[in-house]
Amino acid sequence: MSETMLLERTRQFLEEPLLGEQDLDTKVRLLLEAEYLRRLGRYRRLDHTLTQKYGMTFEEFVARRVVQQKGYTWEVETDAMDWETAVGGIRTMERKLQELREPERV
């Protein structure tokens, strides 16, 4: 097992009652989980917004070549890039959460 040094001020923040009485590893994992969930929520909201805007899933959007159909406008190209980032982000955050929640194997 490896050890990592924390700055004293960081350690003080981690010892505040807000995070409970768990050990430092558990607290850091809780903070990571909260961040992954925050990002997952943001990606899902964007996916939902663009699904509503275009009336289709991202996969359908790509398959139908909507960017080309709309004449490669700035708005549609930007939406396509943002949507692709959101869809990839959802997969990544879900994978990271699953890995984080798996029990440690010693």
**What mean pLDDT is predicted for residues 18-23?**
82
Domain range list for the chain: 23-52
Task: Report, in this order, helix, strand and coil percent for the chain, each rounded to 5.
Answer: 75, 0, 25
Give the chain's mean pLDDT: 93
User: What does the alpha-carbon distance between residue 33 and residue 38 come to, in Å, rounded to a whole number?
Assistant: 9
Lowest mean pLDDT among 20-24, 48-52, 80-84: 20-24
Q: Which tens digit of pLDDT belongs to each residue from 37-64? A: 999 999 999 999 999 999 999 999 999 9
Model's pTM, two decimal places?
0.85
- Cα 51 to Cα 19, 57, 73, 99, distances in angstroms: 37, 5, 18, 28
Over pLDDT 70: what percentage of the chain? 96
